[in-house]
Each structure stands twice: as C-alpha cells, then as structure tokens.
Amino acid sequence: MEGALSGLKARRADLLSKLQEVEDEIALAERWLGATDISEPTKPRTLQDAMALVLRENENVGMRPQRMAEIINTRKLYVKRDEGPVGANGIQARVSNYASLFVRENGLVRLRDTLVSPEPSSGAGSDGVAR
C-alpha cells in the first residue's frame, strides 16, 4: 500500500510540474499577443520571455543562439538560478522545449510567425508578419 501511495505522490508531482509548464506557456503567449503588458522596467521572468523580447525588438529576424545569449546577458534580461551567464546551449534547449513558440532554421532562431502580431501602425504582408 505504501508503494502505491508513493507512486501516486510521484505522479501528482509530475502532473503539477506539467501544469506549471502549460500555465507558463499560456502566460507567455498572452504577453506576446498583448493580452498583458510587460512594462519597460519589468524584466522577463523566464528565459523564453527574454528570448521573445530580443527577437521582437529585432523584428523577429533570425538570430544565432550565441548572439541571443550575448544580448540577454549584456542587458541582464534573465539571470539563471546559479547566477551564471546564459549560454547558446541554454537558448537551443528552450527552442527545442518550446517548439510551439520558436523555430530553428539554418542555425537561426526566431518566433513562430503565428506569435508575431503586426504593429498597429504598419501593414502586414500576406504571411501576417508586419513589414
């Protein structure tokens, strides 16, 4: 009986972790779509938020993971728990883990087109991306 209880507790912990990941993705998508504001003094709370901010500021032009890491570290947009710098491997891991948010093509990372909303003052091309 104790083994079954232990298994159920482990399963609950796993499900709670997955729920938190989904809630984080929803919150991130809402911020990207403008449902909530990220004010200038507020720093992104996750690495994927920082990555999205850098890509949006650069008009979602594909960027090498190393360059993205340099920008994030220089601007201190995200600080790892161990307070070490973000590396290209960390960027690549987030791209892989958040494939619904990011695309990797020819070694360059960018946001999925569906997450890039056109600026209100600019027209959008036929692909929905602001020009």
Question: Can you give the pLDDT at residue 12?
Answer: 78
* Residue 23: partners with Cβ closer than 8 Å, 6 or more residues away: none
Domain ranges of the chain: 39-115
Instruction: Give the single-character DSSP code of 76.
Output: T
pLDDT tens string, the chain, 131 residues long: the values are 888 888 887 787 777 767 777 777 777 777 777 655 544 445 668 999 999 999 999 999 999 999 999 999 999 899 888 989 999 999 999 999 999 999 999 999 999 876 555 443 334 444 444 43
| CATH classification code of 39-115 | 1.10.10
Global pTM value: 0.57
> Could you give the C-alpha distances from 74 to 65, 66, 86, 124, in angstroms and in order?
14, 12, 10, 32
